[in-house]
A = this chain, B = another copy of it.
Amino acid sequence: MRINIGVSNRHVHLTQDDFNLLFGDDQELEVNRYLTQPGEFASNSFVTLKTDKSSMENVRVLGPLRSYTQIEIAKTDAYKLGINPPVRESGDIVGSEGITIIGPKGQIEKTEGCIIASRHIHVTSEDAKKHGFDEQKKYLVKIGGIKGGVMSNVSVKISDNYTFEMHVDTDDANAHFIGKNNNIGEIIGEDNESI
């Protein structure tokens, strides 16, 4: 089964409280452009991520605001920042890596919240029923091209509202040359080894 692949650059999700601390009580998170998943958007707000070793500027805040603050980076970013975030599903942040977020009006030392997002596929409830996708299972996705391969350990997230799409981070994208001209993968089966 063919699937479109979207690439997630490093980004931040914020709670209302953390947004207010970083950008001010009088600010609102503005839409820059809507993303593929319904309601999700790239905002016009940016933060700096800081660690003892280094920092990264111009990290975009994605909207809408959430019930948890989460910082999603790639392993390449983690090396630069000198930290070791775990691979996690979105929202599973307990015990994950800490990092400091700096905004124009303040900064917050998060003791957890920084993760490397797992490779995942957004599936509609209808498609999940039709094709037998299961959130408890992992899948294999094949990529073509000169730096192609098969990504294992790909999770699925099922919701009525989703658009059928796979998300990978910039390391997976750059290793496999996934981009505008190579953004189709093939779900070739369940990954029974990685469960």
Contact = CB atoms under 8 A, between A and B. Distances in A.
Interface residues of A, number: 24
Contacts of A152: 148-150
12 contacts: A75-B147, A75-B174, A75-B177, A87-B146, A87-B147, A146-B194, A148-B194, A149-B153, A171-B171, A171-B174, A171-B175, A175-B175
A176 interface: yes
Given A149-B151, A152-B148, A175 B75 contact: yes
A74 interface: yes
A119 interface: yes
A170 interface: yes
Instruction: Indicate how many identical chains form the complex.
Output: 2
B175 A176 contact: yes
Interface of A: 74-76, 79, 87, 116, 118-119, 146-153, 170-172, 174-177, 194
A75 B119 CA distance: 19
**Chain A interface SS verdict (over half):** mixed
Name, among A75, A116, A151, A153, the residue most crowded by chain B CB atoms within 10 Å (CB to CB): A75
Nearest to A169: B175
Contact of A147 (B79, B119, B148, B174): B119
A-B CB proximity, top 4 nearest:
A175-B175, A75-B174, A150-B150, A171-B175
A172 B150 CA distance: 12
B146 A149 contact: no
A194 to B, nearest CB: 7
Nearest to A150: B150
A117 to B, nearest CB: 11
Contacts of A176: 175
